[in-house]
Amino acid sequence: MTTQPNCLNQFIDGEFTVSEAKRCIPVTNPATQEVLCEAPCATDQEIETAIVSAQEAYYQWREVPTPERARLMLNYQGVLKQHQEDIAVTLSKETGKTLADAKGDVWRGIEVVEQAANVSSLMMGETVENVARAIDCYSYLQPLGVCVGITPFNFPAMVPLWMYPMAIACGNSFILKPSEQDPMTPTQLAELAVEAGFPKGILQVLHGDKEQVDRLITHPLVKAISFVGSVAAGQHIYRTGTDNLKRVQAFAGAKNHMVVMPDADKDQVISNLIGSSVGAAGQRCMAISVAVMVGDAKNWVEDLRDAMANVRPGLWDDPQASYGPQISPQAKQRVLSFIAKGKEEGATCLLDGSDCKVPEAPDGNWVGPTLFTDVTPEMSIYKEEIFGPVLVVLCADTLDQAIELINQNPYGNGTSIFTASGQAARHFQHYIEVGQVGINVPIPVPLPFFSFTGWKNSFYGDQHAYGKQAVRFYTETKTVTARWFDPGMSASPNMTIHLR
């Protein structure tokens, strides 16, 4: 990567430059605590230079025809595919994700870049001929200007690729502030953007933390802000951005439920519950963290425990490892505190991963699979997002009770139902108050020609990520009402048009 020794460079005005930062943040391997590099906190002058550069680049880029923008995205997805393995290795080392999981992270981002290559058809406006006599009306979608993205640690390839390819394809310029916990992957994505032919200034990457974020989201030249992260940060960014008259989409917390009907296939249920709850160490906003066992499905809990007990975390290049470590010692301690609190509040811990050890990496942030039963909605382990490999089980007598439980939850990111009944699935999808619903699919993240549509406290804003809604978010609609006079026409004083 193009960096000074042990320190990432800022990517400003098309160049990787040595930062003048007076403060740097160590980036560590969460499995070993080895310091991989440092992320420099961008100075006020670096931020200003990046924004001015992005504004100047926007003035040129918005005039580039949409087919040319589409071809740039086609070229970029080709470069990303060529380097998918390299990106995944970088991602694994700084997040701890298994290599297979890291490759999936990169691939889901590539799919969004492919969607961005459809920008010409996605930006088609509307038209009506003869809205009045000899008057036509039509609309265009036009880019906004400088857009900013603030992305989380858990998907350092996929989430940035949710944002800037769509924004840039629509004719905007973009400034990315990636997570300070794993900024190497987004920096590599920027290097590959240069290789793909991105014009100078349409993509900038600045490193830092909340101080740099606040500078970006309050700057007068910034028009739109995209964010994925915690509830507290999402609320802050949404309030601050909108108070400064920015357009904001902020994806926040989650507490995702899987409803298990007694007619479902037990083996499929157990396999999918395990993968969706402890995969990626539970550090996914779409992870299943609550299983709602309906009726006799509650009898499967012991089998679920036995299967979870066979799952183990490990190093990124261990093909037998199911998932990696928590991103930081602080994240591990937070998960452990929830496990302890669950026990204190009276839940039964059927499987406790608090003392998990990985012999080849004793200093890693390891938490083993953890399963709680006898959980009530009043308990902290149910109410709050744990963001670790912890699954809690609640029971319901009927499907309607399960639906009521989920609808009362303040989050609405994703949910799923496992059943053999089409009627039950139809009833569930119709009445559930959650943005993304899976039917015999545990983590219903849509492909990019749909949109990622969290509800309630899982999302603040109006237009969601990727798909058609992203195009709407990154553009403004201009409506034109047009009349052309014919020399043979005459107009009366009341402007009525008389045709020959």
- Report how far apart the first and last C-alpha atoms of the chain are (Å, whole number): 70
Burial class of residue 187, CB neighbours in 10 A (0-12, 13-18, 19+): buried
In this structure, the number of other CB atoms found within 10 A of the CB of residue 343 comes to 15
Write out the two tokens for 209: 């933390």
E strand map for 144-287: 146-150, 173-177, 203-205, 222-228, 247-251, 256-260
Q: Is the dihedral of CA 335, 341, 347, 352 positive or negative?
A: positive
24-28 and 35-40 beta bridge pairing: antiparallel
* Partners of residue 205 on adjacent β-strands: 11, 176
Residue 414 Cα distances to 5, 83, 236, 453, 456, angstroms:
42, 31, 23, 9, 11
Q: How far, in Å, CA of 120 to CA of 70, rounded?
A: 7
Assess whether 285 carries a catalytic annotation: yes
Residue 104 Cα distances to 81, 88, 152, 155, 184, angstroms:
12, 8, 16, 10, 17
For residue 45, report the phi and psi dihedrals to the nearest 5 degrees: -70, -40
SS3 label, residue 195: helix
Residue 128 Cα distances to 1, 317, 350, 469, angstroms:
52, 58, 64, 23
Catalytic residue (choose from 24, 285, 356, 395): 285
Task: Concatenate the DSSP letters of all residues of 35-62 into one string.
Answer: EEEEEE---HHHHHHHHHHHHHHHHHHT
Type of residue at 54: A
Type of residue at 299: N
Q: How far, in Å, CA of 423 to CA of 82, rounded?
A: 45
SS3 label, residue 143: strand
E strand map for 106-200: 127-132, 135-143, 146-150, 173-177
* Partners of residue 37 on adjacent β-strands: 27
Write out the two tokens for 122: 């996605």
Type of residue at 420: A
Q: What residues are labeled active site?
A: 285
